[in-house]
Each structure stands twice: as C-alpha cells, then as structure tokens.
Amino acid sequence: MNIREFTKDIFYVGVNDRTTHLFEALWPLPYGVSYNSYIVAGTEKTALIDTVRIDEVHAYIDAIESVGRNARIDYLVVNHMEPDHSGSIPEIIKYYPGIKIIGNSKTIDMIKGFYHIDDPDRFLEVKDGDTISLGDHTLKFYFTPMVHWPETMMTYVEDLGVLFSGDAFGTFGALNGGITDRDMDTDIHISEMYRYYSNIVGKYGRFVGKALEKLSGLTLNYICSTHGPVWIDRINEVVKIVSDLASYKSEPGITIVYGSMYGNTAEVVESVARELTSLGIRNIRIHNASVSPMSDMITDAFRYKTLIVASATYSMRLFPAVETFMNAMETREIKDKIFAVIGNYTWAKNVVADKMKEYADRMKLEITAALTVKQSPDTEDENAAWEFARQLVNAMEVVETDK
C-alpha cells in the first residue's frame, strides 16, 4: 500500500528531521520536525507543492521518485519562501529541468534573491484568486501575506477540498510513521502547535485572522501544512486553536516568569503561587527565566490568560533574562492579558516598578496587581503576597464572569 497517497491523486513527499536541535537556530525540537511537500497528480499536469530544507534533499528526491506515477513534474508551486521550504528549489530545477515555478511577484523576487534564479521563462506568476488546470484537478491560489512572510499564499484543490496551507496549522514534531491524523496519534502535534504558533507566527495574529476569514467559505477535507500531520479528523480542533491564538484569546491559567539571582525573588514567587493555589487556582506554570527555554515561556504566556512577571533589580534595570522574555513578548505584540508584576531590590526601590509601568503603557496592558519586596521577604511581605494574590484572583473571576 502506498501510504503516501493519502487521498486520490494527492501524495505526501515530505521528510522528517530528527537531527536539527534548534528550528530557525532558536527553537528546541524535542520531537523533531517534518518539512512537508506534496504532489498533485492531474490527468494532464503534475504539480509539486513546496520543497524541503536543503539538508534533506536526498531523502526528498527519493520520496518524489517513490511516488513513481509521473516521472515528469510540470510545476513547482511555492507557497512560502522561508528556506525550510524553498531550500531545495535549485536542486529540484536540476532534477526536473523543464519545471515551471508558480509563485506571486514577491515569491519570484525572493527566489532571485535567495537562489539567483532569474530566467523569466522559469516562472509562472499568479495573482490572488488565479487558477491553473492540471486536467481533472485545478489549483486555486489565495494570497495570505504575513502567514508567515509577505509572499505567503495558499493553494486549494477545489474538487477535493484540499488546502495546502503553508505554515498555517503547522506544528513541531516529526511524523511517527503515518502522514495524516488518521494514521497515527497526533496529541504531541496538537500540544506542539501552541509552541509552534506562538514562537514562529505569533507576531502576525492580525494577518492570520484575515487569512482565516478569507478561507472561511471553503470546504476543507484535508489541511496540508508545511509542518506536521495532514489534518483530516482534527480539522475543527486545529482551526479553533489557530483562530484563538491569532485573536490572542487565551485559556484560564497563570504563567509566572521570574528572574532571581540569589533566590529572594524566587521565594516571593513561591509564596505568591502558594497563595494563588490556596485561593483555588490550579493551573499555574512557573518559569525561572534563567533556566526555562524561551520557547516554553513564550508558549505559556500566549496560552494562559494571566501573566505575572517578577524581576530582581539588576544594574538599574530589569534582570536581563526577564528583560529578554519581555522583549520577546513585545515582538509578538502580546495583548489582552491580566498582567501583574513583582519587583525585588536592595537599594533602588522603584526601578522594577517603573520599568514594568513603562512596558505596560507601551503594550497597552493594565497592571492588575503589583508587589515590591526589599531584599529577603519578611512577614509583612508574606501578607502583601496574600493581598497581591487576592487582587489577581478577583480580576480573574471578573474576566471569567464577563465571558
């Protein structure tokens, strides 16, 4: 059985990468990642959809050849130019010299810039909404800029309800034997989708929202992303996850990110977390910013409604690891959070509070509760921690009631 043909005339020819440690040289890959590419075989023409990272090109060519139905590939559709998908374009051209590359004007510019391919006969430029016939199947192109780069588009096979969605609905995690969510357990991929979205696409929620709106009328039988399983049975679930994340809609729960040099700020955080638990909060994720991967802190801060940031004072600034985390959240334009802050100091009392206030103003976040502790917390600080936790829980209850 050719498991690659997951529905009639559509073949999976992507590859798994279980070697790379850091995606984009930044984000850990504990379960690996897949770079997905597909073949649409029509009665007259055959199209390849996207390519894979160059390191995996040999396995990729083998996968294409193993499909074996059409030795000839007529078109290469480039939905997204980030090199984890475009890297093998030059090799594909060498292997299939007559191939035409289908892309929009931005795609073509980027191919020239990245790979110095500039023969105009090589390209077939499409506009938003254009179609190209493969015989019994037709490809339709939907421009979805900034999901995740400016040139990104999606390709839809109308008669089969197949959407090649680029990075949208993508996730970390190599494919464990299967290709679709019918062939294998995909719980890891669903859980990794939060990390993938918040780390990679998180800044572009507005554009993801626009793309979802644009696609909302389409029949979706198969969502074929550039990373992770082909979605069939879990389409509603993944659309909801991405739609919620794109609109910064988060789940009940608290993320606490702290930076502590000698344990005093950490002690305040532990005390606050105990008070929150005593008030009935069950879902609390605590990260020491010096130890937790940035990837996980960003994911939890996106996923949960309440964010507490606690910082020691360091050279008249926030603690550096905390500052880096806050910059990452600013890059991703995080919004709509219940936000609370904790500062710890020895001689510069107001530094953390002032820096947090500047940040909150810039990000249009309201500081729901604030706590400042001098050096090691004492009984008075324990009482203040209780009051801080109570204020926060009240604000969380108001938000829950308003829903």
Residues near ligand FEO, by CB under 6 A = 80, 82, 84-85, 148, 167, 226-227
177, 163, 159: which is closest to 1 by C-alpha?
177
Question: For ligand FEO, which is the closer residue by CB, 34 or 306?
Answer: 34
Which C-beta is closer to ligand FEO: that of 200 or that of 286?
A: 200
For the record, the structure tokens of 258 come out as: 């702290």
**DSSP code of 398?**
H
In whole angstroms, the minimum distance from the beta carbon of 95 to ligand FEO comes to: 22
State which residue, 167 or 300, has the beta carbon closest to ligand FEO: 167
Give all strands (DSSP E) within 199-356, no chain letters.
222-225, 251-259, 284-288, 304-314, 317-318, 338-345
CB-nearer residue toward ligand FEO: 199 or 255? 199
Least Cβ distance, residue 109 to ligand FEO (angstroms): 17
Q: How far is the CB of 228 from ligand FEO (least distance, A)?
A: 10
**Partner residues linked to 344 by β-bridges:** 312, 373
Comparison of 151 and 300: residue with beta carbon closer to ligand FEO: 151
Q: C-beta of 245: minimal distance to ligand FEO in Å?
A: 16
Q: How far is the CB of 14 from ligand FEO (least distance, A)?
A: 11
**Ramachandran bin of 166, using left for φ above 0, alpha for ψ from -120 to 50, beta for the remaining angles:** left
Closest CA to 225 of 36, 26, 2, 13: 36
Q: Which two tokens stand for residue 35?
A: 């770079």
Residue 25 or 316: the one with the smaller Cβ distance to ligand FEO is: 25
Dist CA 361 CA 359 (whole Å)? 5
- Which residue, 24 or 118, has its beta carbon nearer to ligand FEO? 24
The residues, ordered by sequence, that sit 6+ positions from 378 with a Cβ below 8 Å of its Cβ are: none
We find the least distance from the C-beta atom of residue 267 to ligand FEO, in angstroms, to be 41
Q: Which is nearer to ligand FEO, 201 or 384 (CB)?
A: 201
Residue with Cβ nearer ligand FEO (85 or 332): 85
Give CA angle at 28 (26, 33), nearest 5°: 105
The least CB distance from residue 28 to ligand FEO, in Å, is: 16
Angle at 133 between CA 130 and CA 136, to 5 degrees: 140
Q: Are 27 and 55 in contact, with CB atoms under 8 Å apart?
A: no
Residues 368, 372, 373, 374: what is their CA dihedral angle, to the nearest 10 degrees?
180
Cβ–Cβ < 8 Å for 304, 287: no
Distance of closest approach, residue 167 Cβ to ligand FEO, in angstroms: 4
∠ at Cα 291 (271, 349), nearest 5°? 50
**Tokens (6 digits) for 241:** 């996850």
Largest Cα span, the chain:
79
Report which residue's Cβ sits closest to ligand FEO. Answer: 82
Whole-number minimum distance, CB 27 to ligand FEO, in Å?
Answer: 11
The residue count for the chain: 403
